[in-house]
């Protein structure tokens, strides 16, 4: 029994233009740094979406407790909208869902988002729930693997939801280039996928993972008294370049495929350098990663929610045919690389 992604849904808070964010807030926040100006201009982001627009409210001095309270206020309605849209796209009712898996690295609390959404969506009281926390940008793929395993084992529909509100974790003013980069890239979003055992959609064929523990300090997401603070080494693209080809080729080889068999690429847009590295390492044409670049431009890097939105964008493009294969790639702390092989089933 092959589990398939039968529906997608997403929900976004208010729009914030990148240039306006720089002019109205970050220019002063980063003390008119020329480096910061260049980073914001070259981030590949035209606009983002935020529940806390720093041009209107500055959370940089808020305690972590205050930020978590704000998450509990903002996340439920965004998650509800995303899941409702995905259920509608899949054409199933809430009572048919056997598992709800919620992913986030930007907000925690108990009773958690999974419990609140089960109530607001009218999901079954015997619903299984799973929360995947603090894995970072690649978390959608291990979560997808777990959800797919449930669908295959139990023959029931399941929902995967990623909710990331990165705007709640704006840091105090600093000269740290890593903080400049993260503040230039990240946005907020909720993205959901519905998986079913029998349907048209994107079949989850196989998933692979690789972690280079020697580079564990290259990407970090630390809980501090003033929110969560990202560490992002400029060496990350180089580490990915060393491992990406071998991990992908192993995944394809065990499924009887080669890179030339892939017709769609869903790559987590961690930033322009990440996308350029993937393109160069795998020898892809510029058009291959356009869905990823479009999502980065219009929504920013929304951590774990981003890859689901790239897959939704790729499907909406209408260029995939039955039997086409898709490679999905995501990266995060560890330093970890996840890859998934999907197949279009009609």
**Residues annotated catalytic, as ranges:** 137
* Cα–Cα dist 86/161, whole Å: 10
The torsion defined by the Cα of 97, 84, 263 and 200, in degrees rounded to 10, comes to 50
Are residues 306 and 269 in contact, defined by beta-carbon separation less than 8 angstroms? yes
Distance from chain centroid for Cα 268: 7
User: What is the DSSP-derived secondary structure letter of residue 22?
Assistant: I
Report the candidate in 299, 30, 306 with the shortest Cα–Cα distance to residue 38: 30
Are residues 218 and 243 in contact, defined by beta-carbon separation less than 8 angstroms? no
* Cα–Cα dist 153/151, whole Å: 6
Question: How do 262-267 and 325-332 pair as beta strands?
Answer: parallel
């Amino acid at each position: 029994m092959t589990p398939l992604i039968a529906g997608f849904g997403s929900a976004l808070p208010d729009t914030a233009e990148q240039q306006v964010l720089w002019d109205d807030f970050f220019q002063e926040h980063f003390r008119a740094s020329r480096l910061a100006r260049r980073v914001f201009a070259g981030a590949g982001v035209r606009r983002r979406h935020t529940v806390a627009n720093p041009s209107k409210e500055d959370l940089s001095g808020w305690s972590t407790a205050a930020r978590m309270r704000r998450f509990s206020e903002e996340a439920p309605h965004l998650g509800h909208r995303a899941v409702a849209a995905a259920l509608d796209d899949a054409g199933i009712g809430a009572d048919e869902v056997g598992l709800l898996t919620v992913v986030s690295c930007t907000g925690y609390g108990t009773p958690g988002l999974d419990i609140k959404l089960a109530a607001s969506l009218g999901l079954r009281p015997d619903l299984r729930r799973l929360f995947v926390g603090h894995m970072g940008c690649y978390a959608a793929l291990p979560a997808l693997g777990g959800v797919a395993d449930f669908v295959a084992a139990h023959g029931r529909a399941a929902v995967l939801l990623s909710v990331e509100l990165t705007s709640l974790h704006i840091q105090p003013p600093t000269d740290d280039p890593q903080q400049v980069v993260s503040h230039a890239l990240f946005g907020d979003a909720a993205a959901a996928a519905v998986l079913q055992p029998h349907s048209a959609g994107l079949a989850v064929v196989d998933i692979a993972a690789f972690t280079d523990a020697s580079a564990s300090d290259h990407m970090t997401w630390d809980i501090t008294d003033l929110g969560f603070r990202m560490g992002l080494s400029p060496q990350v693209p180089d580490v990915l370049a060393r491992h990406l080809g071998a991990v992908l080729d192993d995944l394809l080889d065990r499924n009887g495929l080669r890179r030339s068999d892939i017709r769609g690429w869903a790559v987590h847009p961690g930033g322009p350098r990440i996308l350029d590295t993937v393109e160069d390492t795998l020898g892809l044409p510029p058009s291959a990663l356009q869905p990823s670049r479009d999502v980065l431009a219009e929504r920013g890097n929304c951590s774990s929610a981003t890859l689901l939105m790239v897959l939704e964008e790729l499907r909406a493009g209408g260029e995939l045919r039955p039997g086409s294969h898709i490679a999905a790639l995501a990266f995060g702390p560890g330093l970890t690389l996840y890859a998934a092989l999907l197949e279009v089933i009609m």
